[in-house]
Amino acid sequence: MKKIYLSFIVLLFAVLLLSGCAGSKGKTLSFAFYNVENLFDTINNPNTKDDRFLPGSELHWNSEKYNKKLNNTAKVIASICETGLPDILGLSEVENINVVKDLLKTDELKNSGYKIIHKDSPDERGLDEALLYKPSKFKLVSDKYIYVDFPFKGYYSKAYILYVKGLTQGGDTLHVFVNHWISRWKGKKETDIYRELTADKMRNMVNKIMDNDPNANILIAGDFNDNPTDKSVKNELGALKPDRPLRKKSLYNLALKPFKKGEGTVFNSNGWDMFDQIIVSTSLLTGSNGLQVNSAEQKIIKHPWMMTKNDRGEEVPFRTATDKYSGGYSDHLPVCIEMTIDDARDVSSIISINFPVLLD
């Protein structure tokens, strides 16, 4: 009888211990960003340069290829998080809201419950940004499109940044910015100024938020078409390496450490670039405002089936098309982070460097 009683006590203690651990874990919020590479339908839009993605084009773009693109994109999105679909998902290079709606009709995403935030961009190619979110995890407060006007005649006249403000399950405010900065297609030096001006605009918006709330939870993500060490991101935006001592009212680049290790999200002639980045405010590292990232490094999603070999035998993202149709996924890899709500830990468990936590 004593043995049975003792066994019951041990079992009860184990149950209480496990339940206590489960309770202390807290709620989580996942975020991902994915440049899906030209998610275009087959319908001609006379206001954009979408001729490449029409049935009569060199790619012979048709409904079969479009549906395959939708299913491939959905397959990648469904593979990003081990625990389910991302709670908040930023997308880049979607043609219009209809292709996003079609994406959510795929088998992988039809039960996602995602809501869509989208607006047509001024991009002459019709490349837009969008945000998908689960209302049960992120309650929308407002959304806004911030236009960046370039004050000179050149290759581009303007760009825009998608700004979404919402509340998490813990009631904490989260500011999310989705970016797609001007590409290097016309040359890096020739287009640097566009990305630097966009970064400056982005930083000004951050400063306004932080002037009102120094501990604001700010998350900036996107395809910056620059690396974490380039002037636009490092100097104009001021995205720092996430090491201690942390500085108040600052931004920290969760892509910097992986980039220094040689990792990347897009493969160019010189190797890997880390164009797709997630950048967070100080409070998202310290958890001082109810929300905390679980790592100081963003995760790059790179499944074997998303990759192929180039002519030099190098492993590269399996893209949809170059000059010819390939039938792959995207030329970019998605990135993601997970955050914990109302369960802040010692920041040393995230960045593991023994210096004072905060500097003014």
Number of domains in the chain: 1
**pLDDT of 98:** 97
- Rounded average pLDDT over 255-272: 96
Q: Is residue 2 part of a domain?
A: no
- CATH at residue 105: 3.60.10.10
**pLDDT of 20:** 33
- Rounded average pLDDT over 241-255: 96
Q: Is residue 10 part of a domain?
A: no
86-95 confidence digits (pLDDT tens):
999 999 999 9
Average pLDDT of the chain, as a whole number? 91
305-360 confidence digits (pLDDT tens):
999 999 999 999 999 999 899 999 999 999 999 999 998 888 988 987 555 567 66
Domain range enclosing 254: 27-359
Q: Is residue 326 part of a domain?
A: yes
SS (H, E, C) 15-63: HHHHHHHHHHHCEEEEEEEEEEEEECCCCCCCCCCCHHHCCCCCCCCCH
Q: Is residue 343 part of a domain?
A: yes
Contact 174, 138 (CB under 8 A): yes
**pLDDT of 202:** 98
Q: Which residues have a Cβ under 8 Å from the Cβ of 214 and sit 6 or more positions away?
A: 248, 249
**pLDDT of 192:** 97
What token pair was written down for 100? 């996003």
Q: Is residue 113 part of a domain?
A: yes
8 pLDDT band, cuts 50/70/90, is very low
Q: Is residue 5 part of a domain?
A: no
CA distance 107 to 178: 26
Q: Is residue 93 part of a domain?
A: yes
SS (H, E, C) 59-124: CCCCHHHHHHHHHHHHHHHHHCCCCCCCCEEEEEEECCHHHHHHHCCCCCCCCCCCEEEECCCCCC
Q: Is residue 20 part of a domain?
A: no
153-209 confidence digits (pLDDT tens):
888 888 999 999 999 998 999 999 999 999 999 999 999 999 999 999 999 999 999
**pLDDT of 354:** 54
Q: DSSP secondary-structure letter at 213? A: -
Neighbours of 7 (CB within 10 A): 10
